[in-house]
Chains A and B, each alone.
Chain A
Amino acid sequence: GAVVSQHPSRVICKSGTSVKIECRSLDFQATTMFWYRQFPKQSLMLMATSNEGSKATYEQGVEKDKFLINHASLTLSTLTVTSAHPEDSSFYICSASPGTDPNYGYTFGSGTRLTVV
């Protein structure tokens, strides 16, 4: 149990366009999901905490108008990279937890490799 599905796994887009990434909890409900960004050979940087039915909480330095997060249901959060530029190219990963049981920890999606050309 506790599976998080993330799509697409890889996307290439032109500079100036927008890209939407989906994160779904398949067998549990998640009132909270987390979006991370990972640079090559680096750790995961938390971008924002997505809250079902309310606004996302963004980390310092993350532009909320650039990275739009929508958490409209208990099983789906989306991250839209608006007006993408090459510097937005990165690996984006979402995570969620089915509850407070640490045996599940925070389940991660398989990630989305975004390349902006």
Chain B
Amino acid sequence: GEDVEQSLFLSVREGDSSVINCTYTDSSSTYLYWYKQEPGAGLQLLTYIFSNMDMKQDQRLTVLLNKKDKHLSLRIADTQTGDSAIYFCAESKNSGYSTLTFGKGTMLLVSP
């Protein structure tokens, strides 16, 4: 079956880089997403990567995909206290109409 795994907790100091890792098992995953959830709120799409890409950069966010190892990472440069949240990795077969499979989420705590 499909499975998405993430480490549960990451603590960094403000200004450092954060790297959140994710592994998945379904080789037919086509889209891989990173979502951010702040306390008591819904999920905010941060970025996505298509399975034929190795890297995608968007301002402070860099996504790396190792399709062979089924490993995905999200790097946040110059992490700020406002980045403290839970980050979910998710995968889907296609965009828009198939279901998402989520990891359990990584809680990122940024200290001043």
Contact = CB atoms under 8 A, between A and B. Distances in A.
- Do A and B interact? yes
Interface of A: 4, 6, 32, 34, 42-44, 46, 49, 93, 95, 97-111, 113
B41 A104 contact: no
Contact of A97 (B41, B44, B97): B97
Contacts of A42: 104-105
B88 A106 contact: no
Contacts of B44: 108
Nearest to B33: A105
B42 A100 contact: no
A109 B45 CA distance: 12
24 contacts: A4-B42, A6-B42, A32-B97, A34-B99, A34-B100, A42-B104, A44-B43, A44-B100, A49-B99, A93-B42, A98-B96, A100-B95, A102-B48, A102-B95, A102-B96, A105-B33, A105-B35, A105-B95, A106-B33, A106-B45, A106-B100, A108-B42, A108-B44, A111-B41
Given A32-B97, A108-B44, A111-B40, 8 more contacts: A46-B99, A95-B100, A102-B31, A103-B48, A104-B96, A106-B96, A108-B42, A111-B42
Binding site secondary structure of chain A: loop
B88 A44 contact: yes
Interface of B: 31, 33, 35, 40-45, 48, 50, 88, 92, 94-97, 99-100, 102-105
B4 to A, nearest CB: 8
B102 A43 contact: yes
Contacts of B103: 43
B31 A110 contact: no
Contacts of B95: 97, 100-102, 105
